[in-house]
Amino acid sequence: MLWLTPLVAIAALVVSLYGTIKKDSSSSWQEQRAHLLKQLKQEDGKHLIIVSYGPWHSVHNEWVYNEADIDSAKVVFARAINSREDCRLIEYFKLRRIWSLDADQSIPKLKSYPRNQCE
């Protein structure tokens, strides 16, 4: 029992260090989102980004948050729910350029959302 306590403490330290080393601050989701937002704000028109998350996505890496006045915002982020609900959202924001984003990719990239899915 006496040796078990230091062993558990060392194991916890190794796990913590591994998590810290594994994170690459240069490609953190916050920086990726900020870069993407800056890029879209410089383009003409308004944008809707439908963000999909996998089942193991960290709740701490949230891409979807918006300005208070969503309808006037140049860029709006929304969670992908299902095709029916996503199409209702696309219909509401039909004057915007629609994008899809897989938030679980190591470097998430915008893809043009296939509008024919909603016909």
Owning domain of residue 98: 26-118
| 56 Cβ neighbours under 8 A, 6+ residues apart | 104
Q: What is this structure's pTM?
A: 0.74
Which tokens is 8 given? 């558990």
Which of the residues in the chain have pLDDT under 50? 25-26
Listed in order, strand segments (DSSP E) in 43-90 are 47-52, 75-79
83 in any annotated domain? yes
> pLDDT, tens digit, for every residue of 9-23?
777 777 776 665 555
Tell me the percentage of the chain whose pLDDT exceeds 70: 90
Please count the structural domains in the chain: 1
1 in any annotated domain? no
14 in any annotated domain? no
